Structure 1
């Protein structure tokens, strides 16, 4: 009887009703996420046979992956490119989000947010092709620079890390702007006024009040940009011309042309572990920074 009373109390609670409401969607999402990941994890411990997969547990795939200098070089390049893209994206997104939050009037903010989402009206692939047109040898940018007399010969901009970084930064800019904007909107404006009333300059008020309070949004923006870009396949293939492959291109090569799914799975799991470790280190450093500001 006592257990029944406890169950009835839990069932009537507000929290239980909320969990019950979202549980079907959450269960479906977890299933769709967990099933592919578990499949990749299982494949990484199998052996590759001729046009088949030998279901024998082995660590050979991981040993071959981490002993391969090409994998280590490509993984390092992927981390550096993703870090560069994240830095550029967040550095450009913060002023935009600050402008939207502190300068734009309340009745106009929704209009600005609507404009920010316009790039999502077109396919990601189309946007990448447009950047290829812009940065091409005979592209829009070279044509404009030659027309202005700034350069005599077209610049080689495609097939470079810079071109990949610019393309990815443009593609993920809205993902960085929105979380930072939400964090800035939550800041109590009276705190900023109090800081200035106490004689603090606007810069010191920003550094001591605005930036620490906006850090949750900045952290969210960093993770939202960094994690997907390290696994981006399309941009290095099209903008980099396949000459600057990232880890996703290496996984694709193992999975499809070489038909070595266990090796491709091992590379994918290894990359996910590295990304997870980098993210955890970043979160720990951010928490330490916030504790130091208190």
Structure 2
């Protein structure tokens, strides 16, 4: 029996090794190189490989970097909150209120049929000074001149990213709702709970894993997004990823770019951990 268990264990390790090597080569190795670069410095066109914390000191002392980090977290939080709030009713409708689930799931995935960059440019055309929104408002007489505050600011970034990430929020929440045992909802009704009480005491707590998954799927890539802020954010909508892109590109300062990347990863990890713990605690209190 022991020999059989060891044999099965060895087979399991053997089967998993290709995936481990693949992930290690594409994730662990680049991350290790980035960490190493963050402790080096750029000496004109050469990299000084003497270990130092100078990059981190400069990054912490630089008010622009602090501003961009804070702005990135705030924008990512707003995008996450808005997307989940808009996605939850849609996921709830698909899970409980319609029989044509496959059709609705196909409709949800339609944005994936076009390029992400194309969708960002579409929002730029919609929100532009002479764009679809301003033209429509002028036509119906609600405004006398085009609105200039709806593009090239953080609001445009939040709106564009909330639309871009919507399917990533709807699908995990739907899966979580779909797993809820209907007998639990029936039991809550038999015990005299109203529809709102049933939702707050049964549906919402049991769907918290889906909400957490959707939030993390949205929050983490939003902090690292630099395309959308560059196209629709303007000067006030730039995020930390835009500065990282400059460091690795025009500035040719890879060590500083690696430092900013590591700092962004640590900030995202901390915020995500606090969010998950808080949301799980809230779910337990609701129950």
Q: How many pairs are equivalent?
A: 286
The offset of 1:10, in angstroms, is 3.0
Alpha-carbon separation, structure 1, partners of 2:34 and 2:126 = 37
The counterpart of 1:53, out of the listed 41, 47, 59, is 47
Question: What's 1:202 paired with?
Answer: 195
Number of the residue aligned with 2:118: 126
**In structure 2, what is the Cα distance between the partners aligned to 1:100 and 1:227?**
26
Residue deviations 1:158-192, cap 9 Å, x none?
Answer: 11111110000000000000000000000001111
1:141 pairs with one of 133, 143, 150: 133
The one of 3, 7, 10 equivalent to 2:6 is 10
Matching of residue 44 in structure 1 with residue 35 in structure 2:
no
Match of 1:251 in 2: 244
- Structure 2 portions without partners, runs of 5+: none
Q: Which moved more, 1:123-132 or 1:281-290?
A: 281-290
Superposition CA RMSD, Å: 1.6
Q: 2:70 maps to what in 1? A: 76
d(CA) in 2 for partners of 1:21 and 1:207?
A: 44
Moved more, 228-237 or 32-41: 32-41
Do the aligned partners of residues 22 and 140 (structure 1) sit closer, same or farther apart at CA in structure 2, a change above 3 Å counting?
farther
Matches within 5 A, 1:102-251: 102-105=96-99, 108-156=100-148, 157-251=150-244
Question: Structure 1-normalised TM-score?
Answer: 0.93
CA distance in 1, matches of 2:282, 2:13: 34
Q: 1:214 to 1:233 in 2, by over 3 A?
A: same
Distance in 2 separating the partners of 1:39 and 1:49? 18
Match of 1:24 in 2: 18
Q: Secondary structure at the match of 2:95?
A: helix
Structure 1 unmatched ranges of 5 or more? none
For 1:22 and 1:128, how far apart are their aligned partners in 2? 39
- Determine helix, strand or coil for the equivalent of 1:159: coil
Normalised TM-score (structure 2): 0.95
Change (3 A) 1:95 1:261: same
Task: Give, in whole Å, the separation in 2 of the partners of 1:20 and 1:95.
Answer: 44
